[in-house]
Chains A and B, each alone.
Chain A
């Protein structure tokens, strides 16, 4: 199979009408291009998120005080916040539609899921969205330490994983109000974001790390703060090293631990493997993972170098497409294949957008940015290629393209343009044998070749 075909399908959203990065070099180089689509299609930022949530909280207080008009305004505001999720999906898809670096969008989705914060409830949703451009996107190709600290200290993560309610039991605030530790964030950082569940940390490390994290705080009205009076006094020993102990406690000690954690061999191995699983295979060759992991260690967690190691490894270019596109990537690939433009997505009628994109993801079991837990979405093909999943892919293929395009392409040329030499002779034959044009186009979207990568 052509390198260009593999590059587009495995490291992007498939072939579209526009040219795609067609080699390991081109894919890597595309990451160095200016991030034009982020400017063209801006995502909700932290200041706007804070304003929204502050307003809805203020209205809630008025409602408690018996304000009837406030109740209506609160409902309207809540609705507005819920619509932000739809807006974030639009922006994400518009960026994919217009980008010259599909790999950058794939990485955004990967890290967004790695550092999951769901769009759940009005107090969290705006921050979960703001995390994408605030914490992830600027750090996609730098040191993992920077990405890790930006993600872990982001309001979305502090709120979602209960860090805002964790207080050092022996701190002034803890003693005065009889408050204590919440280990949630500490555990998930070790178990999910860095060392992995099999990592060499103990329950005592979790507890000590939770103590180190105390003092981190966020309030919508005031913003992020490190509050020494909430911090557990004394030094903490995590993974055999001592951190903190200064009086008053310092944010820098947390950053120092995250820095060390970001280059721990378990972190290098766990996150390298996760990248390889996401991009290459549900069961990636150990040689590929080892190469990435070694690069991680050698470069102190330089993510660009790790991507480079992955993209230059021969195992990343096997022509066997064993993975299945997750529903979001399926829909995004559909948009790219049909050549739908970013502006078109932004301007799309709400009802049509819900039917074609938002609801499709819900029924396929991948509610946009709303996985069931902090562990994010499953990777295995078997989790997605279920009777319900396949039926929705077939339906999408048969119905949605005609909703989005007045004139559908000739299925016989469409199959080749979208899949090139990845299309099997069986598929090419079946597409040509269709009763109608929509059916022929639908078969392309329903095909294993389109759904696998």
Chain B
């Protein structure tokens, strides 16, 4: 088996699955019906991407593990999603800030991944890119509406931007796995996303009359399985069915 390709596919799958799980928590609780449907739709896109990626990771691993086993039967330290996606929903502004930061990264990321020498990753990227464009537009519109809204919505949006800012640095991190796969033409070098990401964020925050935080210390660790205290709680909810009824199928 190709260990690196397995690890890399798995972390992309984990990012998508965990963000999908977080967004799914809004189902039935969002501020308006349209947003409830909107957030659930975005969750569904991420879960769909996760399914395709987990299935492929299982094939690469070649030990017979399927999407359910990889998503629902691994332990906390085995997950390699970035810390940003596991952060709690908080208020609506925090959910939107998390989605905006992530989608502003993933749209150019998937665009580049379409040229990967790995055909399956390239095919998944071609689908995911179109979805990421909607996610970015949706979250950017909300950043502007809340930032340039009332005094309270402005304050909350600014607080959310500052709260989640330290988790954005991890998106651009490249460990040995990524570097080796970049050299083979399979992975996308996340460092090359920094400028385009920064431009998108700057433009939208400017329109939203919000301040862009200074680049500074970044909290990282998710890629090597060191997660925030919220993560174990997320897994207990997400993995409950497969833990309680192993092998359960729809």
Are A and B co-members of a single complex?
Answer: no
